[in-house]
Amino acid sequence: MSGFHWDYEVFLFLGTCLTLLAWLVSRHKKWRKSEHQTVRTLASVGNFFPLLLLVLSVRSFAFEPFRIPSSSMMPTLLTGDFIYVDKTAYGLKMPVFHNTLMETGQPQRGDVFVFRSVEDPSEDIIKRVIGVPGDHIRYDERSKQLYVNGELLDAQYVGPYTGFHDDIDPRGLNMKNASTGGVAHHILQANGVRRPFAHTDLIVPEGHYFGMGDNRDYSKDSRVYGLIPEKNIVGQAKFIWMHWRPSAFLEGFKRIGQTL
């Protein structure tokens, strides 16, 4: 089944369906006053239905917490950041099958968004929207320059990166000011690091998006695995609501509340 994979949402959906069935059976007029152990068990199971329905509704249609798993979005997001993902930003989608029930908006260039991996749908990934349907995207591997519809997205040098780091060597990392779709943000580029990419010159078709990490030389993104289908999109990252990293607790605490 296309787009289907076993994950927490699937088990939550199945649990909601099963408790609903137990609730309906236990309240059928034939069984309502029965003291049979099976009916009592079904009634107990059915009592969980309202709670599971609430959790499923909030998680599927409103918001979902997300923990940053890697350094690919440095310096905007760091490993240990917990972010709020607005699932209403790009449309209300059916749980499990992810068909759009109601359009509420489309990803825009510069948005930070979460989506299910095109390689492993059980994995959620976060990147920045670089290309929307109709855009011509070109990334020059030699100069590390990015062009959208023939226009260079220039990045102004700020200085050596001196912030947090985890699973990468910060030596040689340079921070630059960039602007994508009118959204100002920082990117990182590494001296002496050059990577070949499979997708560096393409036109984004309808229903797809091109995403890149702000840590440009240490990000596996659309340059590697290609375009992101609209159906895979989970929602828009809005702000950091918690940071947890014991090695830098006080510094991380200051990140709470930062908007994206």
CA distance 60 to 104: 15
**For residue 222, which of 240, 193, 197, 249 has the smallest C-alpha distance?**
197
| Interatomic CA distance for residues 125 and 74, integer angstroms | 14
CA distance between the termini of the chain: 34
- Report in angstroms the alpha-carbon separations of 173 from 126, 138, 159: 21, 23, 9
Q: How far apart are CA 222 and CA 184, in angstroms?
A: 21
From the candidates 127, 176, 219, 222, which is the catalytic residue?
Answer: 127
Question: What type of residue sits at position 57?
Answer: S
Q: Verify whether residue 70 is a known catalytic residue.
A: no
Contact of 109 with 183, CB cutoff 8 Å = yes
- Catalytic residue flag (residue 127): yes
Count of C-beta atoms within a 10 Å radius of residue 133 = 16
**Strand, helix or coil for residue 235:** strand
> What radius of gyration do the chain's Cα atoms show?
22
Catalytic residue among 60, 70, 72, 222: 72
Angle between helices 8-26 and 37-46 (to 10 degrees): 130
| 255/184 Cα distance (integer angstroms) | 18
Report d(CA 18, CA 14) in Å as an integer.
6
What residues are labeled active site? 72, 127
